[in-house]
């Protein structure tokens, strides 16, 4: 039986989880603080690996920007499994922080970017064709350790092999994907879903401009800067996103939030590039009412409180 601490002041307490390099939260996430306060919810910012935080004293613990976990995934997942009332739940975190979930979704019939996997210690040779490919680790955040390679260029082929070898030497699984050129024109569309009475409900969408301009030469900071604009999702994109969410293990109705990142495939139809259920930027500042919708979702996720 789970013993749940009730706040002595009567107001529900919510932790918004970040990392020590964003100890005051990402500015976009701060937009939810005022609507939470307006509903009598006390929100506090907490760093995930701070040993002094007593997670059991919170009514809900909401993952937001713990973006330094990629090189410590095992530690992060173990922490998630130790936290009562975590959103999204720890089993979702375990599944979603290793991008091999894309293979499961593809097997479930979700249209995804074709992906090859290289295990540590495996030899890898670039495909014989001369297209462009993306190489990145299966566990990553913020486009770190991610590069784009034109395999028609002998130097790029060498750099691609070196990139895979570097990840392999660090014990990391590598993903190899064809670069979909529509990213350069259409960009990437991120569809944001926030919890509603019947599970995740579509809230808004944004467009991300192309980010990968060449081989991986290292990223300073926690993430690559992104070029973001508001966007209206098409019925086709919404249909793919619903198919993605329907395939989430354990059901999507438990999710506080979800972000479905789509790009046009070779024939122009949307394909999944990433499903973000752990610590996605929610781009609250790009849609009217989005901070309030997230606050409502958080309130709906609070455990029932005895009168």
What is the DSSP code string of the chain?
A: ----PPPTTSS-EEEEEE-GGGTT--TTGGGGHHHHHHTT-EEEEEETT-TT--GGG-SEEEEEE-TT-GGGHHHHHHHHHH-TTEES-HHHHHHHTSTTHHHHHHHTT--B---EEE-TT------SS--EEEEEESS-STTTT-EEEETTSHHHHHHHHHHHHHHHHTT--EEEEE--GGGGTT-EEEEEEEEETTEEEEEEEEEE-----SS----SSSS----EEEEPPPHHHHHHHHHHHHTSTT-GGG-SEEEEEEEE-TTS-EEEEEEE-SS----GGGSTTHHHHHHHHHHHHSPP---
One pLDDT digit (tens) per residue for the chain, 307 residues: 233 344 445 799 999 999 999 999 999 999 999 999 999 999 999 999 999 999 999 999 999 999 999 889 999 999 999 999 999 999 999 999 999 999 999 999 999 999 999 999 999 999 887 799 999 999 887 667 889 999 999 999 999 999 999 999 999 999 999 988 888 888 899 999 999 888 899 999 999 987 556 666 555 554 556 789 999 999 999 999 999 999 999 999 999 999 999 999 888 899 999 999 999 999 999 999 999 999 999 999 998 754 4
Strand partners, 263: 271
- pLDDT value, residue 6: 43
Q: How many residues does the chain have?
A: 307
Give the pLDDT confidence score for residue 5 in this predicted structure: 43
pLDDT for res 221 = 56
Q: Rounded CA gap, 268 and 270, in Å? A: 6
CA distance 279 to 271: 21
- pLDDT the model gives residue 212: 59
Distances (CA, A) of 39 to 60, 64, 292: 15, 20, 10
Q: In the numeric block, which tokens belong to residue 68?
A: 């330094």
pLDDT computed for residue 142 by the predictor: 61
Residue 215: predicted pLDDT: 64
The candidate with the shortest Cα–Cα distance to 272, out of 101, 91, 57, is 101
**Residue 168, preceding bond cis, omega within 30 degrees?**
no
What are the tokens at 210?
A: 């192309």
Q: How many CB atoms lie under 10 A from the CB of residue 292?
A: 17
Q: What is the pLDDT of residue 9?
A: 54
Residue 183, pLDDT score: 82
**pTM as predicted:** 0.89
């Amino acid at each position: 039986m789970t013993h749940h601490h009730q706040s002595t002041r009567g107001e529900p307490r919510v932790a918004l989880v970040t990392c020590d390099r964003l100890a005051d939260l990402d500015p976009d996430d701060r937009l939810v603080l005022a609507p939470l306060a307006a509903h009598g919810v006390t929100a506090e910012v907490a760093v995930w690996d701070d040993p002094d935080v007593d997670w059991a004293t919170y009514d809900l613990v909401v993952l937001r920007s713990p973006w330094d976990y990629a090189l410590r995934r095992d530690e992060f997942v173990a922490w998630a499994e130790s936290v009562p009332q975590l959103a999204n739940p720890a089993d979702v975190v375990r599944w979603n922080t290793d991008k091999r979930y894309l293979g499961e979704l593809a097997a479930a019939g979700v249209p995804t970017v074709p992906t090859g996997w290289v295990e540590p210690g495996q030899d890898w040779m670039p495909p014989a064709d001369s297209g462009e490919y993306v190489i990145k680790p299966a566990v990553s955040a913020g486009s770190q350790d991610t590069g784009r390679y034109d395999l028609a260029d002998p130097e790029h082929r060498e750099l691609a092999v070196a990139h895979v070898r570097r990840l392999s030497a660090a014990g990391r699984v590598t993903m190899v994907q064809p670069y979909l050129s529509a990213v350069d024109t259409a960009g990437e569309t991120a569809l944001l879903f926030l919890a509603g009475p019947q599970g995740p409900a579509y809230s808004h969408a944004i467009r991300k401009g192309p980010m990968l301009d060449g081989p991986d030469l290292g990223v300073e900071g926690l993430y690559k800067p992104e070029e973001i604009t508001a966007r209206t999702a098409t019925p086709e994109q919404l249909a793919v996103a619903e198919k993605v969410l329907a395939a989430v293990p354990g059901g999507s109705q438990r999710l506080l939030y979800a972000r479905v990142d789509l790009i046009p495939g070779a024939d122009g139809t949307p394909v999944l590039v990433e499903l973000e259920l752990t610590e996605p930027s929610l781009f609250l500042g790009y849609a009217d009412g989005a901070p309030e919708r997230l606050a409502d979702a958080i309130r709906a996720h609070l455990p029932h409180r005895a009168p």
